[in-house]
Amino acid sequence: MGGGQGPLADMVGADVMSAVDPGFWRGKSVFLTGHTGFKGAWLSLWLARLGASVHGYALEPPSTPNLFDLARIGQAVTDTRADLRDLDALLRAMDDARPDVVIHMAAQSLVRPGYEDPAGTFATNLMGTVHVLEAARRQPNLGVALMITTDKCYENREWVWAYREDEPMGGFDPYSASKGCAELAISAYRRSFFAAGGARIASARAGNVIGGGDWARDRLVPDIMVALAEGRRPFIRNPEAVRPWQHVLEPLSGYLVLCQKLWRDPSLAEGWNFGPADEDARPVRWIADRLCALWGEGAGWDTQPTRQPHEAHHLRLDCSKARARLGWRPRWDLGAALERIVAWYGSQAGGADARALTETQIAAYDSAQGGADGIGRQAVGGQQLVG
């Protein structure tokens, strides 16, 4: 049974926060799936700033507009457009990249589209992951492969305790179940093909990731930001649902730190949670209220009047293992994250360059030593917001 932070967290009260190390990434070949997506675009820019040679493999960007195009990510990476379900194309692309590190982020990443196309969701999220593992095990220079799944991979029992990495996999809906299946495949490949040496294989499960540059449909923050920018009141589906919200840079920093440490320590080849502090697992209502208040100008929201497909109501992650063994912890609390998100969208809507906005927030996050870091402020929607 999951339960709070527990005694493991008590071991690390004085630990030093681990940082992303440019010296590790400089010159490394990184094969990154999903580079055209929201998280992938942020990670592509961060890796390029660190000096890595980034080889991206993904479908076309999932929305219009999208961060990949607006931030000119194609200038920073080798850009291959292909499907995870095409094993031959994936093998060729990975062979060309000769990666030191593989980070697999590509997915059908939303619950509601999973109901609309369950077969496609399982094909992409399960067999796509199997294809990445199959290609990875043929790479002679590979040191680390990190497979990104989701916090929804756990069998959700709607309890108040946070889920630990050893909880059973599961999933009520096709998206969540496909990710639980992917975790089982990752574990099977790790034990069957990588246990005797060679590349180290780990998985990472992040909470609800939010940040500037996300325009995916049926996601809370993009839906709210688009509506407010257009002068509309957004509709909210499940205002009482509790999620572990975190700025996109939080899990990305965890992924990078895990890869660095996994390179040297094969005992870290297992599953990892990367989520916010307990107090930042908030109801949807709280997020919507805060975003509207930050936007200003009388912004508000309404509840979606129609019946919605099943989604988990309560979900928290226990990240004490990452804190104890990796020295990782969140740097921006939820309030600071929301300020930066509103600043990003407001500035971009006002004509600011998306790449400069994104790189500025990466630099600010990278320099933070925990908590908000006092970076510059700018006026957006009548509010003074962190930039």
**Per-residue confidence (pLDDT) for residue 311, from 0 to 100:** 57
CATH class of the domain defined by 22-367: alpha beta
**Per-residue confidence (pLDDT) for residue 310, from 0 to 100:** 52
Parallel, antiparallel, or unpaired: how do β-strands 101-104 and 208-210 relate? Answer: unpaired
Tokens of 270: 């297992």
pTM of the model: 0.89
**d(C-alpha 276, C-alpha 360), whole Å:** 22
Ordered DSSP codes for 43-78: HHHHHHHTT-EEEEEE-S-SSSS-HHHHTTGGGTSE
Ordered DSSP codes for 12-24: TTTPPPP---HHH
DSSP state of 162: P
**d(C-alpha 232, C-alpha 377), whole Å:** 25
**d(C-alpha 65, C-alpha 43), whole Å:** 18
**d(C-alpha 92, C-alpha 101), whole Å:** 16
Report domain extents, the chain. Answer: 22-367
The closest of 55, 59, 38, 68 to 101, measured between CA atoms, is 55
At which residue do the structure tokens 């999951």 appear?
2
> Is cis: bond before 61, omega within 30 of 0?
no
**d(C-alpha 165, C-alpha 281), whole Å:** 18
What crossing angle do the helices spanning 249-264 and 38-49 adopt, rounded to 10°? 60
Tokens of 257: 């730190």
Q: Where are the beta strands (DSSP E) in the chain?
A: 29-33, 53-58, 78-81, 101-104, 144-148, 200-206, 208-210, 235-236, 242-247, 271-274, 281-283, 302-303, 377-380, 383-386
259-316 pLDDT tens trace: 999 999 999 999 999 999 888 989 999 999 999 999 998 899 999 776 666 555 677 8
CB atoms within 10 A of CB 351: 6
Cβ–Cβ < 8 Å for 119, 48: no
**Per-residue confidence (pLDDT) for residue 16, from 0 to 100:** 59
What crossing angle do the helices spanning 128-136 and 174-193 adopt, rounded to 10°? 20
**Per-residue confidence (pLDDT) for residue 40, from 0 to 100:** 98
**Per-residue confidence (pLDDT) for residue 243, from 0 to 100:** 85
**d(C-alpha 165, C-alpha 326), whole Å:** 14
- Which parts of the chain sit beneath pLDDT 70? 1-16, 160, 306-313, 369-387
The closest of 248, 274, 286, 282 to 329, measured between CA atoms, is 274
**Per-residue confidence (pLDDT) for residue 237, from 0 to 100:** 85
Phi, psi of 11 (to 5 degrees): -75, -15
**d(C-alpha 242, C-alpha 348), whole Å:** 29
**Per-residue confidence (pLDDT) for residue 377, from 0 to 100:** 34
**Per-residue confidence (pLDDT) for residue 343, from 0 to 100:** 96
